[in-house]
Amino acid sequence: MPIRLRHRMRLCASLFALTLLVAAPRSASAYEVNDSHFHLTNYIQEGTDIRDFLKIMGSRVGRVALFGIPLQQEWSYRVSGDAAPQYYLDSDADLYYYSFTDAHIAMAYKSLPKKQQARFDPMITGFNPADMYAADHIRRVLQTFPGVFNGIGEFTIHKEFVSSKIAGDVASLSDPALDRLLDFAGEAGLVAIIHNDMHMPFAKPDKARVYFDQMKGVLARHPATTIIWAHTGLGRIIQPIEGHVALLEEILRDPALRNVYFDISWSEVAKYVVASPESLRIVVGMIERYPDRVLFGTDEVAPNDQASYPKVYDTYGPLWNALTPKASAAVRLGNYERLFDQARKKVRAWEAANIH
pLDDT band of residue 163 (cuts 50, 70, 90) is confident
Residue 51 is predicted with a pLDDT of: 98
Q: Containing H/E element for 154?
A: strand 151-156
pTM for the model: 0.90
The number of helix segments (H) and strand segments (E) in the chain equals 15, 11
Residue 29 is predicted with a pLDDT of: 64
CA-based nearest residue to 185, from 209, 219, 144, 159: 219
Q: Does the pLDDT of residue 39 top 80, yes or no?
A: yes
Distance from the Cα of residue 314 to its chain's centroid: 18
Q: Does the pLDDT of residue 273 top 60, yes or no?
A: yes
In whole angstroms, what is the distance from residue 52 CA to residue 71 CA?
Answer: 23
Q: Does the pLDDT of residue 62 top 80, yes or no?
A: yes
Average pLDDT over residues 323-341: 98
Residue 7 is predicted with a pLDDT of: 45
Average pLDDT over residues 277-292: 97
Q: What angle do CA 48, 139, 65 make, to 5 degrees?
A: 30
CA atoms within 13 A on the CB side of 337: 15
Residue 24 is predicted with a pLDDT of: 34
Q: Does the pLDDT of residue 343 top 50, yes or no?
A: yes
Spatial neighbors of 276 by CB under 8 A, at least 6 apart, are: none
Q: What angle do CA 40, 318, 274 make, to 5 degrees?
A: 75
Residue 270 is predicted with a pLDDT of: 97
In whole angstroms, what is the distance from residue 96 CA to residue 281 CA?
Answer: 41
Residue 6 is predicted with a pLDDT of: 46
Q: Does the pLDDT of residue 14 top 50, yes or no?
A: no
pLDDT band of residue 8 (cuts 50, 70, 90) is very low
pLDDT in tens, 168-189: 889 999 999 999 999 999 999 9
Q: Residue 215 in contact with residue 248, Cβ under 8 Å?
A: no
pLDDT in tens, 80-117: 999 888 877 678 888 889 999 999 999 999 999 999 99
Between the two ends of the chain, the Cα-to-Cα distance in Å is 63
| pLDDT above 70 as % of the chain | 91
In whole angstroms, what is the distance from residue 218 CA to residue 227 CA?
Answer: 10
pLDDT in tens, 110-161: 999 999 999 999 999 999 999 999 999 999 999 999 999 999 999 999 987 7
Q: Does the pLDDT of residue 13 top 80, yes or no?
A: no
Q: Which CATH superfamily is domain 124-354 in?
A: Metal-dependent hydrolases (3.20.20.140)
Average pLDDT over residues 220-248: 92
In whole angstroms, what is the distance from residue 290 CA to residue 29 CA?
Answer: 21
Q: Does the pLDDT of residue 300 top 70, yes or no?
A: yes
Q: Residue 268 in contact with residue 236, Cβ under 8 Å?
A: yes
